[in-house]
Amino acid sequence: MTHFKTLTVAAGLMAGTALSAQAQELHFIMCGGEVRPADQVVIDKFQADNPGVTVKMEAVEWGTCQDKSMQLAAAGDPPDVAYMGSRTLRQLANNDLIVPVTFTPEEEAAYQPGVLKTVTNGGQYWGIPHAFSTKALYINCAVVTAAGAECKAPATWADLVTLAKTVTDNTDAAGIGIAGKDFDNTMHMFLDFLYSNGGKVYNDDGTPALDSPQTRETLQLYADLLPYMQSGPTEWERDQMRDLFNDGQIAMYVSGPWGEGQHAEQVPTQIVAPIPAGPSGPSGTILITDSLAVFKGTGNEEMAIKLAKALTSGDAQYDLDSSWGLTPILDYEKMGKTDVYYTKGNWPIFVAGISTGGPEPMVEDFKALQAVFTNMIQGIMLEEGTVDELVTQAGVELAAVR
């Protein structure tokens, strides 16, 4: 399919002649239900700088957006560009629906450590990262001090368990909120702890690495925290923890940089802390990106990549990151920017974990990957097996995930 359209334009009414001009339309699907102002500024300039090119933006809610892009592509009517979760890129690439992306050495060097791993499959890049998040531990100091404890960041898992126990034993609140529902951020929260223990899901060569001592230690942490979690942890997903935290029903939980603002009014005395370090690794975090994918077979691939690179260039990306409250996806100080937003407040905590963090795994069957973690986590929460049994089984299940 092509999005080229020929328009007949009157060149001179008196002469009765007409000229033909070629207009190029790029269909851009934006997951999330809105086009951010920082992106719109770039799109407007891109159209002005490329006469005859128009960008048709279609903002679609997350719940249906990614499936829509994939279905259109599979039906032979792909969008030119789509903003979507990087975890979809392997499926799209394996089905020959998107084109690989090439970065110059300078472009590669500009990214924060580990970011490009979130778009890498088979030795190639399949998307251009455009949004980035890391995680940290939030602590409600009012709950902690009511338990008779000092409100300070736990440095280790042992400290975390001790603090959670103290809160549970001495207040009506739970010590910590842990996600256990069949939902993607249940896996994400577990990976925050796994990556803070030197663990991996896949080795660099793509072989499964989940059946490991580091995973057993992480699942044992969940077992140790189980008596101090919110009631019925398998019924909760991470974003629901916000309300429990704001209402003083849990003392701690893990979330992204957006959490601080969501808590500020109801929890004026909160601490944002690095995720505590496990026995086998330093503090880390899951690295999650959303990316711009350029679809194959539109006839507009070259122009679409040009647009995607304009949206993710230094100044444009900085405006998006800073206005949206995202973890910086590029190292803007290396690019010459000063007084950057992420050196202030609690931002250094979200940046510090980047170098020791790990990527959201990129697989073709994400639901199957999610099920591996859900089965293991719910298994320990419902006491349906030992740590060793559940991790061994998770390793077997992961080997079958494409």
Helices (runs of H) and strands (runs of E) counted in the chain: 15, 12
d(CA 117, CA 111): 11
Instruction: Say what the pLDDT of residue 11 is.
Output: 35
Q: Can you read off the two tokens belonging to residue 318?
A: 């900085």
Q: What is the pLDDT of residues 342-396, one digit of tens each?
A: 999 999 999 999 999 999 999 999 999 999 999 999 999 999 999 999 999 999 9
pTM, rounded to two decimals? 0.90
Query: 252 and 235 in contact (C-beta within 8 Å)?
Result: no
Q: Can you read off the two tokens belonging to residue 241?
A: 């923890």
Q: Can you read off the two tokens belonging to residue 118?
A: 């979130």
Q: What is the pLDDT of residues 182-214, one digit of tens each?
A: 999 999 999 999 999 999 999 988 899 999 999
Instruction: Say what the pLDDT of residue 90 is.
Output: 93
Residue 55 amino acid letter: V
Q: Can you read off the two tokens belonging to residue 140?
A: 């409600």
Mean pLDDT for 328-346 is 96
Q: Can you read off the two tokens belonging to residue 382?
A: 């419902």
DSSP string, 276-307: PB-TTS----EEEEEEEEEBSSSS-HHHHHHH
Q: Above pLDDT 90, what percent of the chain? A: 92
The CATH superfamily of 136-284+365-399 is: Periplasmic binding protein-like II (3.40.190.10)
Q: Can you read off the two tokens belonging to residue 142?
A: 């009012």
Residue ranges per domain, the chain?
4-133+288-358, 136-284+365-399
Residue 273 amino acid letter: A
Mean pLDDT for 229-239 is 96
For the domain spanning 4-133+288-358, the CATH number is 3.40.190.10
Helix (H, G, I), strand (E, B) or coil at 63: helix
pLDDT at 85 over 80: yes
pLDDT band of residue 22 (cuts 50, 70, 90) is: low
Helix (H, G, I), strand (E, B) or coil at 287: strand
Place of tokens 């328009």: 7
Pairing of strands 270-273, 17-31: unpaired
Place of tokens 């299940």: 397
Mean pLDDT for 35-52 is 97
What's the mean pLDDT when you consider all of the chain? 93
Q: Above pLDDT 70, what percent of the chain? A: 95
Mean pLDDT for 135-151 is 98
pLDDT band of residue 34 (cuts 50, 70, 90) is: very high
Pairing of strands 358-359, 286-294: parallel
- For 246, 382, 387, the CA distances from 250, given in Å and listed in that order, are 8, 20, 25
Q: Can you read off the two tokens belonging to residue 98?
A: 């998107």
136-284+365-399 shares the fold of 4-133+288-358: yes
